[in-house]
Amino acid sequence: MKRIVILTTGGTIAMSKSDAAGGAVPALTGTDFVDALPRDLAEIRTEPFSNLPSAQFTLDHIWNLSRRVAALVTDNAVDGIIVPHGTDTLEESAYLCDITIDSRKPIVFTGAMRTASEIGYDGFANLAAAVRVAASNDARGIGTVVVFNDEIHAARDVTKTHTTALDTFQSPEFGALGRVDYDGVVIARQPARREFISATRLESNVHLLKLVVGMSDGLLVYLAETVGARGIVLETLGGGRVPPAWLPTIERAIKNGCAVVVTSRVGAGRTTDRYGYTGAHRDLARIGCWFAGGLNGQKARIKLMAALGAGSGAEVWNA
Ligand code: ASP
| Domains in the chain: boundaries | 3-187, 206-317
In this model, does residue 318 exceed pLDDT 80?
no
Above 90 in pLDDT, residue 317?
Answer: no
Asked whether the beta carbons of 23 and 17 are under 8 A apart, the reply is yes
Question: pLDDT tens for residues 263-313?
Answer: 999 999 999 999 999 999 999 999 999 999 999 999 999 999 999 999 867
pLDDT at 90: 98
For residue 86, the model assigns a pLDDT of: 98
Q: Using CA atoms, how far apart are residues 307 and 241, in angstroms rounded to an integer?
A: 24
Residue 147 banded pLDDT, cuts 50, 70, 90: very high
Q: Same CATH fold, 206-317 and 3-187? A: yes
Whether residue 271 lies in the annotated active site? no
The answer, yes or no, to whether any atom of ligand 1 lies below 6 A from the CB of 126, is no
CA-to-CA distance for 250 and 278, rounded, in angstroms?
14
Radius of gyration of the chain (CA): 20
Nearest Cα residue to atom 8 of ligand 1? 87
- 23-74 pLDDT per residue, tens: 999 999 999 999 999 999 999 999 999 999 999 999 999 999 999 999 999 9
The 3 state secondary structure assigned to the chain is: CCEEEEEEEECHHHEEEECCCCEEEECCCHHHHHHHCCCCCCEEEEEEEEEECHHHCCHHHHHHHHHHHHHHHCCCCCCEEEEECCCCCHHHHHHHHHHHCCCCCCEEEECCCCCCCCCCCCHHHHHHHHHHHHCCHHHCCCCEEEEECCEEEECCCCEECCCCCCCCEECCCCCCCEEEECCEEEECCCCCCCCCCCCCCCCCCEEEEECCCCCCCHHHHHHHHHHCCCEEEEEEECCCECCCCHHHHHHHHHHCCCEEEEEECCCCCCCCCCCCCCCCHHHHHHCCCEECCCCCHHHHHHHHHHHHHCCCCHHHHHC
Closest C-alpha to 104, from 51, 151, 142: 142
Residue 276: predicted pLDDT: 96
pLDDT of residue 311: 83
Query: For all residues of the chain together, what is the average pLDDT?
Result: 96
123 close to ligand 1 (CB < 6 Angstrom): no
- Does any ligand 1 atom lie closer than 6 A to the CB of residue 26? no
Percent of the chain residues topping a pLDDT of 90 = 95
Mean pLDDT, range 184-195, rounded to an integer: 89
Domain 3-187 has what CATH class?
A: alpha beta
Position 101 pLDDT exceeds 80? yes
Give the closest residue (by CA) to ligand 1 atom 9.
86
Quote the pLDDT of residue 312: 67
Q: What number of other Cβ atoms are within 10 A of residue 286's Cβ?
A: 10
- Alpha carbon of 8 to ligand 1 centroid (Å): 13
Q: Give the C-alpha separation, 265 to 212, whole Å.
A: 9
pTM for the model = 0.97
Tell whether the model's pLDDT for residue 319 goes beyond 90.
no
Confidence of residue 168 (pLDDT cuts 50, 70, 90): very high
- Average pLDDT over every residue of 257-266: 97
pLDDT surpassing 90 at residue 130: yes
The whole-number pLDDT of residue 3 equals 98
Compute the distance from residue 56 Cα to the ligand 1 centre, in Å.
10
Topology annotation, domain 206-317:
Rossmann fold (3.40.50)
Q: Given 9, 12, 144, 249, which residue is catalytic? A: 12
